Each structure stands twice: as C-alpha cells, then as structure tokens.
Homo-oligomer: A and B are copies of this chain.
Amino acid sequence: MPTPAKGRLPRSRRLLSEEEILDAALDLLDEGGPDAASVRGIAARVGVAPNAVYTYFPDKASVIKALGERLLGEVQQGSLHPCDQPWRGCVEALALDLRGRLTAHPGAVTLMIGGPLDGPHALALQERLLQLLADAGVPPDQAARGAHLLIVYVFGSIAVEVTERGQPGQPAKDTDRLPSPRRALSDAQAQQFPRSAAAATLIGSHASTEQYLWGLHRLLDGITVSPPPFENQPPT
C-alpha cells in the first residue's frame, strides 16, 4: 500500500491548487471580460501547460461553476453575524452585499448566469432568506414563493446591471460613451418611444442602488401584505 497520507496535507507534488486556478480565472475575467478566461489563458497565468488544468477540474464549465460558488460563498461569509436588525434590514443587507460582491466581477457574472445556481453556497443563501422570511412571520408556502421571487429579482438586477455596463472585453464603441448612469436614448428613439425616453431621464436621476433597493422593498411589500390574507407581521 503506497501510504494514502491520511493527513492529506502534503498529498503529493502538485504545483498548483484549485484556488490558484480560480484566482487566475477571476483575474482574467476582470481584466478581459467573459471571453478572457480560456483554459489556455488560465494555464499560462499560473505557469503550467494548458492541459495541466484538467488535473484539478474535469472541464472548463467546472472551473466557471466553482468560481461562481466561491463568489457566492464570500457573500454568505460576509453576512455570518446573526443580524440584530429587524428582518427587512437583514434582507436588505444581504441583497446589498450580494450585489456589491457580484457586480465587482461583471465578466464572472456573465458566465455564471449561463448555468444554474445550485451549488451549496447558493443553497445556503436561499436557506438564509427562508429563515429571515420565517422570522418575519411569513407562512412557509408564501415564504417559499417569496424567496424564489427575491432570488430572481436580485440576480436579475445584477445581470441587467452587468450587461448594461460595458464589459472590459468589448471595446465600448465611442458613439455611446455617455456618462449618465442609465444611458439616454437617441433623438430618433426618443421620438418613437416617448414614455421610455421620459422614464430614462426620470430614473437616470437616481443612483442605481436606490432603484435596486426601491424594487426590493416593493417586492417585500408584495410578499408580506398579499393574499392569502395575512397580517402576522411583528411590530416594528
């Protein structure tokens, strides 16, 4: 028996670790956008041959999946403290933390939303959300629907935000280099879609974080005050 090294720490003469590969992938995505995280590029950055990556991950999709899970894990870790605020504040903090940590890596987010979010850290986030809604007195079936609704909203908002800002990979053609947070419409578009043009200027005057939180609370309103008739809310 070749001594299975039960401590497992000095397992073998590997040059790399899974984490180093994920670091390299994230750096490449941050610098060059969603197409920059090629297996060959990752291998070059950590200084090995392209196929050495396959010692640590079975394929490229697994690398992306693990990277997404790691980003979600940071969120979970960042909100570990039991949160002494009222429940709405806790949901808000969680949503803000999630948004902040993901929008910092638009290239990674673009790849993440291509596949399902079903890893353990994603589940842990859902679990925490269900816990918060239960604490708020929302009955289980409504909390189940509500948590799903919140998840769709939060990830949808992040996805929209990430795709609206230019990725570092795309050269960002200079015709639409507008400084406004939500870019205005061209004259022709404004003429054809007057309400959209007006809405763009109305919303553009607010910070996107404010818009994000407004939507979140509208949604919490809808979840907590809505049918089936339900008024179990604890006092503020």
Contact = CB atoms under 8 A, between A and B. Distances in A.
A93 interface: no
A226 B215 contact: no
Interface of A: 34, 110, 113-117, 120, 123-124, 126-127, 130-131, 134, 140-141, 143-149, 151-153, 155-157, 159-160, 163-164, 185, 189, 192-196, 198-200, 202-203, 211, 214-215, 217-223, 225-226
Contacts of A110: 114
Contacts of A146: 218
Contacts of A152: 153, 156-157, 160, 215
25 contacts: A114-B114, A116-B163, A117-B163, A120-B192, A123-B185, A123-B189, A126-B193, A126-B196, A127-B193, A127-B196, A143-B199, A144-B198, A144-B199, A144-B200, A144-B203, A145-B214, A148-B203, A148-B215, A149-B153, A149-B219, A155-B160, A156-B159, A217-B222, A218-B219, A221-B225
Contacts of A140: 198-199, 202
A155 B160 CA distance: 9
Q: How many copies make up the complex?
A: 2
B159 A113 contact: yes
A27 B156 CA distance: 27
B193 A145 contact: no
A146 to B, nearest CB: 8
Given A148-B203, A211-B145, A218-B226, A34 B195 contact: no
Contacts of A116: 163-164
A185 B130 CA distance: 16
A199 B120 contact: no
A200 B126 CA distance: 11
A189 B126 CA distance: 12
Contacts of A126: 193, 196, 199
Given A110-B114, A149-B219, 8 more contacts: A113-B114, A123-B185, A130-B196, A152-B157, A153-B153, A156-B156, A156-B157, A219-B222
Contacts of A202: 140-141, 144
A193 B128 CA distance: 9
Contacts of A131: 195
Contacts of A200: 144
